[in-house]
Structure 1
Amino acid sequence: MGVFLVYVLLFLLALVSLMLLKSQKRENLNLPPGSMGWPLVGETLQLYSQNPYVFFNTRQRRYGEIFKSRILGCPCVMLANPEAARFVLVTHADLFKPTYPLSKELLLGPWALFFHQGRYHAQMRKLVQGSLSLDVFRNLVPEIESIAKSSFESMSVGQVVNTFHELKKFTLDVAILSIFTHLDTCYKERLRKNFFTLDKGYNSFSTNLPGTLYKRSVLARGRLRQILSKIIIDRKEKRSVQKNLLGSLLNFKDENGEILTDDQIIDNIIGVLFAAQDTTASVLTWILKYIHDDPKLLEAIKVEQKAIYELNDGGNRPLTWAQTRNMPLTHRVILESLRVTSIISFAFREAVDDVEYKGYLIPKGWKVLPLFRNIHHNPDFFSDPQKFDPSRFEVGQKPNTFMPFGNGEHACPGNEVAKLEMLIFIHHLVNKFRWEVVSSKSGVQYDPFPIPQQGLPANFRKQSCS
């Protein structure tokens, strides 16, 4: 008994010593430089009253590539260099969990993969990545072409359209294709209508008062669940094995033979719809602006795409997978648009424990934001970074300096599909249409992703045959 007590005392002493050492180590570390702003609100007002890039870049110049702030009541550490981003997102990802406001989690669904980490996240990511792989989508090029052609028909109506809103319809239809392959028109229309309602209130003030955008989103989310439940029942009854996301989710069994619940399937479908729509539509809107504003670049793209168009008998034969792999200039335009716009400006993580990085303390519970836009606009990595210059992608980039789709286990699993649908869209745009931007306003607005002012109002017209 006496020996046992001695062991217990030794264990307790060792434990106390470790705690003291940890406490002393924490006291010896400094928080990153920066300003926490006003009590509670911090620097939230400064962030939302200006271009976010200006906000972050001003502080980076003042404090360096690692600095602190307080945003929306949360203490934050901002990281504006490639090594720090890799530390948080890749090499030490287990120390930083993904974090989102509860209001957004409720709208998309708590089982959506990007709210998780660990085993469940790995399982869902594998399913999503498999269904969005190029091996699957190489067979869907004609289907995406058909969606693009339909989109152009609705855009070229002889009047000014909001380009961004039209492109959101296009990207949503491609997302629906990737999830369901073929879907009854009735289901598709109801799905579109309620998803757009949910989307409108996603970034609104989260109040459940009747008539507010957020409340309408909540109600639309309930209707989406009902629609998706019926689709799931139909697919289960048909017992058809399809190479799409819904098929992968329905056929999944873990090592214990457990299948996914309907809520898990529905949340991940809504999550993919959301992730696939706005970001791709935003980038594509900017591409149309950039090539519209640069006649020489537009002409060079037309030459590249015209050669493929003529090989396909003036567009009478569909694009092939191999042809989409042979559009080097158009591909560089997409990459440069992703860099300049940096639609995903930063990732949002939370430290799950006290973390030491470069002699600084990142306390447990603090939000951590790797700033992709700051990295993409750093002149040390991209000369004259504000200039739109696709030729910079004729050579490879330094590791971890170009992360338009994030990095690590939470990087966007559909990034190659997004680029594929943009290539197909641009091919048909420059071969068959002309467009004129009619807005006199320039600059950027946030909706919530950066887009040209007013969504790039433009007039699209079919080119006359010659």
Structure 2
Amino acid sequence: MILLLSESVTITKPPSSFLRTFYSNYNLIKIMYWSVWLCVVSLFIASITHWVYKWRNPKCNGKLPPGSMGFPLIGETIQFFIPSKSLDVSSFIKKRMKKYGPLFCTNLAGRPVVVSSDPDFNYYIFQQEGKLVELWYMDSFARLVGLDPSQSITSTGYIHKYVKNLALAHIGTEALKDGLLSKAEDMIRTRLHDWSKLPAFEFKACVSSMIFDFTATSLFGYDFKMKGAHFSEKFTNIVHALIAFPLNIPGTTFHKCLKDQKEAMKLIRDVLKEKKASSKTLEGDFLDQMVDDMKNEKFLSDDFVVFVVFGFLLASFETISSTLTLAIKLLIEHPLVMQELIEEHEAILKNREDPNSGISWKEYKSMTFTHQVINEALRLGSVAPGILRRAIKDIQVNGYTIPAGWTIMVVPAALQLNPNTFVDPLAFNPWRWKDMGVGVVAKNFIPFGGGSRLCVGAEFTKVLMTTFFHVLVTNYRLTKIKGGQIARSPALTFGNGLHINISKKHQ
């Protein structure tokens, strides 16, 4: 029995040499396996580390301005969009100006950016259009207007001159004198009369609709009575996403704005298509002129024409409506300013030969205090969070290098709210403009940009605001109902709106 058991054990037990070989190979495989994984992980960590290092230390043929590039991919975009509940420079810009000085680098919406609050450098940059810099928009804006973000969208030389002259011919000084001013006054009188019948209304929404309807009618004969759709609301939504991170997934602001953009673009395309197909004589508005010029100018494609009209609508609509809303809020809160404004406009009425006539160009130019109020509202409003240019080649400034291809963001609020230039900068003080020097204004007051790209709608904006004030203060009384909270996010916003009541004055 013992023998049998012994033999049985001997038969079933593997040879010791086999075990040694098996375990030796097994351990070798384990070592190789973990070695491979260790190499893979090491390479991954090294790649990530190298990528992060390159992100935080961009290539530059010199010394970059101080600053931080933030987190990979998103940069400092999240911090940039944190609202500041004040008219003051956004906390994002203010903190970095204090830490780094008037010139610093960052990364916004995936793009390396140099932010400047240096008035001398900004003035220089505006004079270098087409030489050192070119017009530039963030990717989100380019996509919202149907452009390829990778391509330059600046128009220089002949094309820029064509668009500028066309705009001046239809919304410039001569056009305003020849009838646009009186048409604006008619629309403003009608809208104010309608609003006076309401117990209260949200001013920003209503004035946005009015500005959109008037501008769209002037540009391409838009019939707001027939269309019925509130396209001004869509443009308001588009403005909120102009420099947002271009994340096009359901639920994001950018995704919603793209839908509004498609509808707004379709409106313009449909009108363009109708005008091109019509056998009727064109009426001579802005779009009519471009349609006529398409016969001879090869650069005037349908896409280009739609982009130009869309751009003019967007720029004029938001600048005027936001600045006007801020001005009304400030006038309500500062009765002494309101009283002097009323006195100036009532004096205009008393000196008018025909009391039933509209505002003349001479009267418009004589409204000194009104222009001071408008300048102060533009200064405090600083509606554009930044004016963008892209460096065509490396730019040297104060010992630093701005690499070619980088975006330069000029921040109007940082200039226009600078306590070293404007005493008590957050105070609403129109009288400060009495003795403001030309040199100070040229470098520190840029609500309409600068250089060859100075906004052609500057006079158009001032005329609409002046006319609105004239009709309002000579015919109505204002009462604030609620709202008016201000924030920068980074664009100027009004929280839950500014709700007011206007009532007819007893003549």
Equivalent position of 1:10 in the other structure: none
1:247-306 Cα offsets, whole Å, 9 max, x none, are 33234379x764723332222112111111011100000110111111111111111111
The one-letter code matched in structure 2 to 1:125 is K
Distance 1:126 1:264 in 2: 16
Instruction: Note closer, same or farther for the CA distance 1:307–1:181 as it changes in structure 2 (3 Å cut).
Output: farther
1:421 to 2:461 alignment: no
1:40 match: 73
2:167 aligned residue: 128
Partner of 1:227: 270
Partner of 1:80: 117
Q: Residues of 2 paired with 1:175 and 1:380: CA distance?
A: 37
Q: Is 2:405 aligned against 1:365?
A: yes
Cα deviation for residue 183 of structure 1 reads 4.9
- The letter of the residue matching 1:460 is I
Q: Does residue 1:245 correspond to 2:286, yes or no? A: yes
Cα distance in 2, alignment partners of residues 392 and 145 from structure 1: 28
How many aligned residue pairs are there? Answer: 436
Distance 2:183 2:475 in 1: 18
1:463 aligns with 2:505: yes
Matched, 1:49 2:82: yes
Q: CA deviation at 1:144?
A: 0.5
2:96 aligned residue (56, 59, 63):
59
Asked if the contact 2:320–2:461 (Cα under 8 Å) also holds between the matched residues in 1, the reply is yes
Question: In structure 1, what is the Cα distance between the partners aligned to 2:93 and 2:241?
Answer: 26
- Rounded to whole Å, the distance in 2 between the matches of 1:146 and 1:123 is 30
2:452 aligned with 1:409: yes
1:138 and 2:180 aligned: no
Distance in 2 (CA, whole Å) between partners of 1:264 and 1:393 is: 40
| Corresponding residue of 1:186 | 226
Name the SS of the counterpart of 1:459 in structure 2: strand
Q: Deviations over 1:221-269 (max 9, x none)?
A: 45314432244236x6233462x32233234379x76472333222211
Residues 193/56 of structure 1: CA separation in 2 closer, same or farther (3 Å cut): closer
Q: Give the 5 Å matches for 1:158-197.
A: 158-180=198-220, 183=223, 185-186=225-226
TM-score between the two structures when normalised by the length of structure 1: 0.83
In the alignment, the residues of structure 2 paired with residue 47 and residue 92 of structure 1 have an alpha-carbon distance, to the nearest angstrom, of 27
Could you tell which deviates more after superposition, 188-197 or 82-91?
A: 188-197
Change (3 A) 1:441 1:142: closer
Tell me, yes or no, if structure 1 residue 31 matches structure 2 residue 71.
Answer: no
The within-5 A match list for 1:412-451 is 412-439=455-482, 442-444=485-487, 446=489, 449-451=491-493
Question: Which residue is 2:248 aligned to?
Answer: 206
Distance verdict in 2 for CA 1:131–1:383, change over 3 Å: same
Q: Once the two structures are superposed, what CA deviation does each residue of 1:344-370 show, in whole Å capped at 9, x if it has no partner?
A: 232112222222122211012221111
TM-fit CA distance, 1:79:
1.1
The CA deviation string for residues 3-43 of structure 1, in whole angstroms up to 9 with x for no partner, is xxxxxxxxxxxxxxxxxxxxxxx977311112222333222
Counterpart in the other structure of 2:396: 356
Task: Select which of 285, 301, 322 maps to 2:362.
Answer: 322
1:123 Cα deviation from its structure 2 partner: 2.3
**What amino acid is the match of 1:61?**
K
Cα distance in 2 for partners of 1:274, 1:85 equals 24
CA RMSD of aligned residues (A): 3.2
Residues 30, 360 of structure 1: 8 Å contact kept: yes
Q: Is the partner of 1:70 in helix, strand or coil?
A: strand
Q: Distance in 2 between matches of 1:58 and 1:301?
A: 37
Other-structure match for 2:142:
105
Letter matched to residue 152 of structure 1: L
Judged with a 3 Å threshold, the aligned counterparts in structure 2 of structure 1 residues 215 and 92 are, in CA distance, closer, same or farther, namely closer
Residue 55 of structure 1: CA displacement? 1.5
**Range with greater deviation from structure 2 (190-199 or 339-348):** 190-199
Kept in 1: contact 2:382–2:412 (CA 8 A) = yes
Three-state SS of the structure 1 residue aligned to 2:421 is coil
Q: Partner of 1:237: helix, strand, or coil?
A: coil
Change (3 A) 1:27 1:370: closer
Provide the C-alpha distance between the structure 2 equivalents of 1:210 and 1:74, rounded to a whole number of angstroms: 20
Paired residue secondary structure (1:453):
coil
Shift of 1:199: 6.1
- Distance in 1 (CA, whole Å) between partners of 2:237 and 2:266 is 11
Corresponding residue of 1:5: none
Deviations 1:379-426, CA, capped at 9 Å, x for gaps: 222122121111121124353111110012222110100000000000
> Is this contact kept in 1: 2:113–2:408, CA < 8 A?
yes
Secondary structure of the structure 1 residue equivalent to 2:422: coil
Aligned partner letter, 2:368 = P
The answer to whether the 8 Å contact 1:109/1:270 transfers is no
Contact 1:206 1:214 in 2 (8 A): no
Q: In the aligned structure 2, how far is the partner of 1:118 from the partner of 1:162?
A: 43
In structure 2, the residue matched to 1:294 is 334
1:338 Cα offset (Å): 0.6
- Choose 1 or 2 for highest CA Rg: 2
Q: What is the alpha-carbon distance in structure 1 between the residues aligned to residue 394 and residue 472 of structure 2?
A: 51
**Alignment-derived partner of residue 19 in structure 1:** none
CA distance in 2, matches of 1:433, 1:208: 45
1:436 is paired with a residue whose SS is strand
**Structure 2 equivalent of residue 18 of structure 1:** none
Amino acid at match of 1:34: G
Q: Note closer, same or farther for the CA distance 1:154–1:228 as it changes in structure 2 (3 Å cut).
A: same
AA in 1 matched with 2:95:
T
On the 8 A contact 1:209/1:215 being kept in 2, the answer is no
**Offset at residue 47 of structure 1 (A):** 1.6
Residue among 121, 131, 135 paired with 1:94: 131
TM-score after normalising by structure 2: 0.77
Structure 1 residue 134, shift from structure 2 partner: 0.6
Aligned residue number for residue 31 of structure 2:
none
> Displacement of 1:153 after TM fit?
2.7
3-state SS in 2 of match to 1:128 = helix
